[in-house]
Structure 1
Amino acid sequence: MADDSFPARPAIAASQLNQLRRLLTELLPANAFYTKKISQAGVPATVASLHEFSEKFPFTTKQEIDEDQRAHPPYGTNLTFPLDRYTRFHQTSGTTGAPLRWLDTPESWNWMVESWTEVFRAAGATASDRVFFAFSFGPFIGFWLAFEAAQRIGCLCIPGGGLSSTARLRVMIDNGATILCCTPTYALRLTEVAAEENIDLRAACVKTIIVAGEPGGSIPALRARLEKLWRGARIFDHHGMTETGPVTHECPRQPGVLHVLEPAYFAEVIEPASGKPLAAGQTGELVLTTLGRIGSPLLRYRTGDLVKPIHQPSTINHQPCPCGRHTLALEGGVLGRVDDLIIARGVNIFPSAVEDIIRACGDVAEYQVTVSDARSLTELSVQIEPTTSCADPSGVVKRLEKAFEVAFTLRVPVTAVAHGTLPRFEMKAKRWSKRG
């Protein structure tokens, strides 16, 4: 039975509009970046409805933020308050360009921590859980937010920064960690290390693995493999960005479906080329307005994330998700990035589709994909590193080549390399490269 304690759609929309009006009041004229942007767009500083906001206010892009920070180093002009009000610094990973720097006030930080507690609660976390954080605590925002959110719930928080993978496994087991937070790739890597070091994962108490940083958490084949290797632990997907904070959590009733953390955000899905809104069931770009991050806000930010809404918010007043939520639900999680799309011989290919095929094939520990442009034709080739238990690497190669041909109607050459040849990743995996 669905939980009927969640706010209905009209209440969510009313809260979003109230927060948006407050945000605009705080921004203008204090925030130089948005004061200039809104003035140049010729739009009113007040909004009558969320629809009017979507119709009239311009998008914000990563390029704009980057150019602003270059012109006004080091933090740019997207600051609503004097610099001495800010107490937190973080930056993006820089995987798609130069890192963006982000400052937060205590109030904005608290808003994001509260949003992260919703991720943990949706995953079923309680004060009795012990959470292991299998990552180094660098300048990337998600680590710190997740740690503080787990503390706020009352969990025992176990940091894994500065430890080897072997040491992390032993600390996790010795302390009886029940929840593991890491990237999907690193969750796989830990099982590989456990096998190499003869560490029996049956001794682990992990019941939930919260994954983020990559689309893998919503890829069915990868989820199934992780759940098998981790002895039935539930995989729980989540995604966020340094620019926005935590954005989604997985539906407790529908694996592979992500709920946007509304009303903390106002979310839209647009056609990337035209910027026009898309209907439910169509794949488009996620656009977010951070309603509570007043110190360093984003209005209609083009995230670059490709998603497929199951329902548009305006259509779900009386059709809640099976879990009871009325928030925007995204089928398949984050499907990829707008700039990730590869068109090979007329076939649209996303990295997530390639990974799903590889993981479904089995017996693959790691892989790398090369995209080459020769004679004006885009070609893919794949290197795989079979697992140590794989008895027939050539058979895996043949199965994969056949699976790619069936899925994409084109030939993708696959070669097997020796164990330990391909790189391993703790953070976001970089498995795709371009040549030519």
Structure 2
Amino acid sequence: MSLFNKEIETMPLDKLRSLQNKNLKDKVEQLYAKVPFYKQLFDSNGIAPKDIQTVHDLYKIPFTKKNALRDNYPFGLFTVPKNEVARLHCSSGTTGKPIVVGYTWHDLEIFSEVVARSLAAAGCKPSMLLQNAYGYGLFTGGLGLHYGAEKLGMTVLPISGGGTEKQLMLMRDFESDAICCTPSYALTLAEEIRKQGIDPSSIKLKYAILGAEPWTEGIRTDVEKGLRLSASNIYGLSEIMGPGVSSEDFEEKGTGSYIWEDHFYPEIVDKDTGEPLPYGSQGVLTFTTLTKEAMPLLRFWTNDITSLSYEKSNKRTHIKMAPIAGRADDMLIIRGVNLFHTQVEAILEFIPELSLNYQLIVSRTGTMDEVEVCAEVDRNLHEAIQKEQDVPLQNDRFQKALQLLKKKIKDDIGLSMKITLMMPESIPRSDGGKLNRIIDKRKG
């Protein structure tokens, strides 16, 4: 049934709540006693540890945001002395001083456990070979997947990110069963296989575990078709643990990712007011770590936009989170309309003349914000039109696709955008890291 820890993953919800409440009370007392930031936070807001008895009391506590981690750089939020810290990681994508996170040996055991659960949910089994194409180093992805895979009993190929030629060579020579990487890099691998004319039967991959950036069902379809496998989402963030905070089950794809609630308690809150929202409502995801020793966090504001629901849970009792719609800090506000790049991607899925490789370019003329969608045309159709000695980008099919995209963006999103058709491979591909879909020229 793709369960790694059946007892925990299927624990009755009332017992799971009791476990969460006990661990939460312990963490609140520990943080109040050992971390000056949290003591001041509680005292200045008139909160005492005894006021937090269950997870339903969490709303009383203000959010912990990323600036708190920066302000307490490097070790100000740690609850243990440095000699009890087994590993340090730093989060990616920041400027200036990085966000530092620490792990005790117990934390690393939990890290491996939740990643093992996630890999099992994705279909992986002991003795399979995992090609780990996440970056190793300060980023949590590479090492997180590595030790979780070993805990599951897999063989790990620690190839790290990039090096597409070597990735494909070893993938074939070693007959890798599974690969983990970003979804955009999985598309790069699939495209390279097609471009080089590699016999698809020489690729033995069965599963892809993809994360670190938002992706859509259209991306999943292209990856599964291009690599001939089952692709599942894995979610995490360095501040909470790393990859493995939640994961899809490969037999329940499209219904959301299970959050391992015995370790991470989630909430959805309004992005403007911070008020808790009911199940099914879309808002900002926050996490409270219930078992982490080195650097527990209360109500950490992830900036990720999603929703939570128990209704779609099937094999497990743990809650599910919907796919990430975008990030609150990456959300574009264009002429009063909230815009996530994944909304454009979702429209592109239904226009076969265009590929899913695109970028949004945001600019400002006077006081007016404008968005240009640069969309690549489909390679196969482009090549067919070239053979007809036609001018590809001016071909009637592509021009109709341009008008359809413009209309659907206006109808579905409520904005008028300039559409620019691009030649195949003219927009940057992922080299193994996260792919930037938005170029905001308003930021100077």
What TM-score comes out, normalization by structure 2 length? 0.88
Cα deviation, residue 324, structure 1: 2.9
Q: Deviations over 1:24-59 (max 9, x none)?
A: 343342233323333333311235532553132221
Q: Contact 1:270–1:286 (CA<8 Å) still a contact in 2?
A: yes
Equivalent position to 2:434, from 422, 428, 432: 428
Is 1:36 aligned with 2:40?
yes
Cα deviation, residue 209, structure 1: 0.8
Is 1:220 aligned with 2:217?
yes
Equivalent position to 2:236, from 223, 226, 240: 240
Q: 1:8 to 1:372 in 2, by over 3 A?
A: same
Aligned to 1:58: 62
Q: 1:163 to 1:258 in 2, by over 3 A?
A: closer
Q: 1:30 to 1:346 in 2, by over 3 A?
A: closer
Q: 1:360 to 1:222 in 2, by over 3 A?
A: farther
Aligned to 1:255: 253
Q: Contact 1:166–1:197 (CA<8 Å) still a contact in 2?
A: no
Q: Contact 1:126–1:155 (CA<8 Å) still a contact in 2?
A: yes
Q: 1:420 to 1:222 in 2, by over 3 A?
A: closer
**Equivalences for 1:251-290 in 2 at 5 Å?**
251-256=249-254, 257-290=256-289
Q: 1:162 to 1:61 in 2, by over 3 A?
A: closer
Q: Contact 1:68–1:76 (CA<8 Å) still a contact in 2?
A: yes
What TM-score comes out, normalization by structure 1 length? 0.89
Cα deviation, residue 375, structure 1: 3.2
Matched to 1:433, the amino acid is I
Runs of 4 or more off by more than 4 Å in structure 1?
A: 1-5, 95-98
Q: 1:259 to 1:199 in 2, by over 3 A?
A: same
Equivalent position to 1:368, from 359, 366, 377: 359
Cα deviation, residue 404, structure 1: 2.1
Equivalent position to 1:353, from 343, 346, 352: 343
Does 234-243 or 246-255 show the bigger shift?
246-255
Does 358-367 or 271-280 show the bigger shift?
358-367
**Equivalences for 1:28-427 in 2 at 5 Å?**
28-47=32-51, 49-51=53-55, 53-69=57-73, 75-94=74-93, 99-161=98-160, 164-216=163-215, 219-231=216-228, 233-245=229-241, 246-256=244-254, 257-311=256-310, 321=312, 323-331=314-322, 333-362=323-352, 363-364=354-355, 366-391=357-382, 392-394=392-394, 395=398, 396-425=401-430, 426-427=432-433
Equivalent position to 1:13, from 17, 34, 40: 17
Aligned to 1:23: 27
Q: 1:77 to 1:198 in 2, by over 3 A?
A: same
Cα deviation, residue 139, structure 1: 1.1
Question: 2:234 and 2:227 mapped to 1: Cα distance?
Answer: 18
Q: Deviations over 1:121-160 (max 9, x none)?
A: 2112211311111233131012211110001111011122
Matched to 2:420, the amino acid is T
Give aligned-pair identity as a percent: 26
Does 88-97 or 280-289 show the bigger shift?
88-97
C-alpha RMSD over aligned residues: 2.4
Q: Deviations over 1:48-78 (max 9, x none)?
A: 5325531322211111211222xxxxx1410
Cα deviation, residue 359, structure 1: 3.6
Q: Contact 2:116–2:148 (CA<8 Å) still a contact in 1?
A: yes
Q: 1:228 to 1:52 in 2, by over 3 A?
A: closer
Aligned to 2:386: none
Aligned to 1:316: none
Instruction: Report SS of the residue matched to 2:417.
Output: coil
Question: 2:24 and 2:161 mapped to 1: Cα distance?
Answer: 41
Instruction: Report SS of the residue matched to 1:29.
Output: helix
Question: 1:215 and 1:88 mapped to 2: Cα distance?
Answer: 27
Question: 1:415 and 1:386 mapped to 2: Cα distance?
Answer: 10
Unaligned runs of 5+ in 1: 70-74, 312-319
Q: Contact 1:33–1:79 (CA<8 Å) still a contact in 2?
A: no
Q: Contact 1:2–1:322 (CA<8 Å) still a contact in 2?
A: no
Instruction: Report SS of the residue matched to 1:404.
Output: helix
Aligned pairs, how many?
419
Question: 2:163 and 2:55 mapped to 1: Cα distance?
Answer: 50
Q: 1:279 to 1:154 in 2, by over 3 A?
A: same
Q: Contact 2:213–2:434 (CA<8 Å) still a contact in 1?
A: yes
Question: 2:19 and 2:28 mapped to 1: Cα distance?
Answer: 14
Question: 2:402 and 2:95 mapped to 1: Cα distance?
Answer: 31
Cα deviation, residue 400, structure 1: 2.7
Q: 1:58 to 1:414 in 2, by over 3 A?
A: same
Question: 1:360 and 1:97 mapped to 2: Cα distance?
Answer: 41
Instruction: Report SS of the residue matched to 2:247.
Output: strand
Question: 2:21 and 2:313 mapped to 1: Cα distance?
Answer: 26
Instruction: Report SS of the residue matched to 2:296.
Output: coil
Q: Contact 1:32–1:79 (CA<8 Å) still a contact in 2?
A: no
Cα deviation, residue 429, structure 1: 0.8
Instruction: Report SS of the residue matched to 2:49.
Output: coil
Q: Contact 2:349–2:356 (CA<8 Å) still a contact in 1?
A: no
Cα deviation, residue 241, structure 1: 0.3
Q: Contact 2:134–2:141 (CA<8 Å) still a contact in 1?
A: no
Cα deviation, residue 266, structure 1: 1.3
